[in-house]
Structure 1
């Protein structure tokens, strides 16, 4: 089966869309960064370095320092697909992030988004 094209897409190409979606709904870039750091374990400097170097999604997640075990608590539908049922591990991570950004844009409190 062919690999999904988003895996080789630069994270730096999608990141501005995450920020724009949040900002359109009155949320901030800092909140988007907090969500990404929570999921991946990157520090702010490491996150910025990944974006600056144009890491693709495969590398972005493969190099993540400490994936948060609480991300398995993320449930729901993104693009008509239940995130907890996505079989490919990399696609599941991408969908987890999509779901978290959706929750942010819908006004959910950060404590709930970060499964606190």
Structure 2
């Protein structure tokens, strides 16, 4: 619950990759071939959907910001990240060369805020 005039802020990882490193991480985490716990879709919702739900819940003046992550993870660190995210070892074996050279990148953060109107 949020009082009228209050602000809500939500942040999540972008579902749209900005480059190949981000695309690899999203694919590894969401493709049933690679992950031990495949979701029906990437766990971050599309920003449009979040904004729509906030409007339906009575929020106004939505604001959206994108924070570029820039966090690149290569070699052994990439392997450990994949392990922590329950990605199958086969993904590392199939993509080892590119993971050691280019690595993975945490997707950009999306931050959405809106104000609750009186109601």
**TM-score interval, smaller chain:** under 0.3
The structure with the greater share of residues assigned to strand is 2
Greater relative contact order (CA < 8 Å, ≥ 6 in sequence): 2
> How high is the TM-score relative to the length of structure 2?
0.27
- Say which one has the larger Rg: 2
The structure with the greater share of residues assigned to helix is 1
> How high is the TM-score relative to the length of structure 1?
0.27
